[in-house]
Amino acid sequence: MSNGETYRPDLERVQRAALAVGALGVAGCAAGFFVSRQQMFQSYLLGFIFWVGISLGCFALLLLHHMFGAGWGFSIQRLLEAGTRTFPLMAVLLLPVLAGAHDLYEWTHSEAVARDPILRHKTAYLNLPFFTARAALYFAVWIGISQLYRKWIDQLDAGGDAQLVQKLRNGSYAGLILYGLTATFAAVDWVMTLEPHWFSTVFGLIFIAGQILATFALMTLFVKLLSRHEPYSSVIGEQQFHDLGNLTLAFTMIWSYLSISQYLIIWSGNQPETITWFLKRSKGGWEAVAALLIAFCFALPFLLLLNRFVKQRIELLARVAAFILVMRLVDLHWTIAPSFHAAGFSVHWLDVAAPMGIGGVWVWFFIHSLKQRPVLPQRDPRMEGAFEHAAEH
């Protein structure tokens, strides 16, 4: 086995484990459909939003990387590219959400719309055909840009043409604008409209920050896996780990700032149409989950990631990343579940099975895509000096 392939057995072991976990989770969802149809769709939506968020986070970070060409991006570029190639999979996995729309969204019930003047006012936007068309448009944008970038990156790997670098950089400006718009509208469509009377102007930004934070966490886990083998181990070291830690810290702070700002603005405004969303999440046990998020989604990662010792040791950084990934799922549960369980805290075994099922399939597909190409970019002229601080081997 050549040095360039020594990482593959580890990836294949993770891939097999992911497939097994995914099959178990999918079987649980299938059983849950007959036990509690509504709960299955609610839990499925949680799992879908979590994993499509990581696909979107990979998309955003890949565009940011090509915009700036920073050294940290080359260490995870192939991982990000593999993440963007999961969009066709996620488009297929959206179908159960569309199939279960009547169990998820109040505005799909004609009798509810008929007796609610606010819902009648929003009918032009909140109707299932337009909802489906918008989802198709979002995925068309994400898949289209991802495929275009894959073509340019493959050409760059083949020839190292500096003009392609400029294409990648220029395309990133438009790509990030489209990402910001589509990711915001998708968050509004798929999550905010669970409670169609409520609105927030920063809801999409909070989701975007959370997507990128979760993506950094998952990428860190794969960096740990790859960093034990050639060719990765010879070009990545403490500096790259430190950069990943700093960026994870930055987005921990951004997500926290946006979340707290939303809370303070809405709470101080004290308007019935906006404050009710937080009232549901501040009683019946949900307030304990909110306190948990403050302590373990912000305070603890913040304190740990301030420490240079943690950020420069991939084993420690990976543990923090795994913890952040779990807390991102808890945060989404706190965001989504009270829409259906306003009376009090609720967690169902399907809330574990559905993210497991979707996640296992996502990771299997992700690794399959990752193995199709060399683990590092080949002829990008910007790579010169990118790994100059790598550890000695």
The DSSP result for 45-73, as a single string, is: HHHHHHHHHHHHHHHHHHHHHHHH--HHH
Smallest CA-to-CA distance from 233 within 2, 1, 3 is with 3
pLDDT band at 388 (very low <50, low <70, confident <90, very high): low
Indicate if 147 and 206 belong to the same structural domain.
Answer: no
Among 152, 181, 188, 185, smallest CA distance to 66 is for 152
On whether residue 29 sits in a domain, the answer given is no
Side-chain half-sphere CA neighbours of 77 within 13 A: 31
Q: Which element (helix H / strand E) includes 280?
A: helix 272-280
Is the pLDDT confidence value at 143 over 50?
A: yes
pLDDT at 6: 75
> pLDDT tens digits for 161-180?
888 999 999 999 999 999 99
pLDDT at residue number 9: 86
Q: Show the tokens assigned to 329.
A: 């799922």
d(CA 241, CA 71): 11
DSSP string, 69-111: --HHHHHHHHHHHHHHTTHHHHHHHTHHHHHTHHHH-GGG-HH
pLDDT of residue 60: 98
Question: Looking at the structure, do residues 235 and 282 belong to the same domain, yes or no?
Answer: yes
Does the pLDDT at position 389 exceed 80?
no
Residues 207, 189, single domain; the answer is no
More confidently predicted of 339 and 272: 339
Q: Residue 219 domain-assigned?
A: yes
Token pair listed for 208: 């975007």
Buried b (16+ CB within 10 A) or exposed e, 309-328: ebbbbbebbbbbbebbbebb
Both structure tokens of 291: 């306190």
State how far the Cα of 332 lies from the Cα of 206, in Å rounded to an integer. Answer: 11
- Give yes or no: residues 183 and 273 share one domain: no
Q: DSSP letter for 294, please.
A: I
Q: Does residue 350 surpass a pLDDT of 60?
A: yes
**From 6-10, 38-42, 100-104, 354-358, the region with the lowest mean pLDDT:** 6-10
For 226-247, the DSSP string reads: HTTSTTGGGT--HHHHHHHHHH
Mean local confidence (pLDDT), 101-129: 96
The closest of 380, 392, 391, 283 to 78, measured between CA atoms, is 380
**Pair (215, 190) in one structural domain:** no
Q: What is the DSSP letter of 201?
A: T
My answer on whether 182 and 48 are in the same domain is: yes
Q: How far apart are CA 225 and CA 17, in angstroms?
A: 14
SS3 182: helix
Identify whether 90 is part of a domain: yes
Q: What is the pLDDT of residue 391?
A: 43
In this prediction, residue 80 carries a pLDDT of: 97
Tell me the pLDDT tens digit for each residue of 176-234. Answer: 999 999 999 999 999 999 999 999 999 999 999 999 999 999 999 999 999 888 888 87
Answer yes or no: do 82 and 173 share one domain: yes
Count of residues making up the chain: 393
| For residue 386, pLDDT beyond 80 | no
User: How many structural domains comprise the chain?
Assistant: 2
Distance CA 328, CA 293 (A): 9
Q: How many Å from the N-terminal Cα to the C-terminal Cα in the chain?
A: 20
**32 in a domain, yes or no?**
no
Binned at pLDDT 50, 70 and 90, residue 63 comes out as very high
Do 164 and 84 fall within a single domain?
Answer: yes
Instruction: Grade residue 387 by pLDDT with cuts at 50, 70 and 90.
Output: low
pLDDT tens track for 285-300: 999 999 999 999 999 9
Contact 3, 231 (CB under 8 A): yes
Q: Give the integer Cα–Cα distance in Å for 349 and 40.
A: 10
Task: Of 61-65, 245-249, 374-378, give the lowest mean pLDDT range.
Answer: 374-378
Helix (H, G, I), strand (E, B) or coil at 204: helix
Share of residues in the chain with pLDDT > 70 (%): 96
372 CB-contact burial (10 Å; exposed 0-12 / middle 13-18 / buried 19+) = exposed
Mean pLDDT estimate for the chain: 93
Euclidean distance between CA atoms 77 and 202, whole angstroms: 29
Residue 306 has pLDDT above 60, yes or no: yes
Q: 205 with 192, same domain? A: no
Domain contains 177: yes
- Check whether residue 162 and residue 223 sit in a common domain: no
Plot region of 390 (φ>0 → left; ψ -120 to 50 → alpha; else → beta): beta
- Please check whether residue 325 lies inside any domain of the structure: yes
Residue 140 or residue 68, greater confidence: 140
Can you give the residue range of the structural domain that contains 85? 43-197+368-377
Tell whether 9 is covered by a domain.
no
If asked whether residues 251 and 316 sit together in one domain, one would say yes
CB distance 200 to 193 below 8 Å: no
Residue 226 maps to a domain: yes
Q: How far is CA 31 from the centre of its chain?
A: 27
- The model's pLDDT over 309-334, given as tens digits with 9 standing for 90+, comes to 999 999 999 999 999 999 999 999 99
* 295 DSSP 8-state letter: I
Over residues 62-73, the mean pLDDT reads 90
Instruction: Please report, for residues 23, 30, 220, 345, 357, the alpha-carbon distance to residue 325 in angstroms, rounded to integers and kept in the order given.
Output: 21, 25, 11, 21, 16
d(CA 304, CA 252): 11
- Tell whether 104 and 80 lie within a shared domain: yes
The residue among 3 and 176 whose pLDDT is bigger is 176
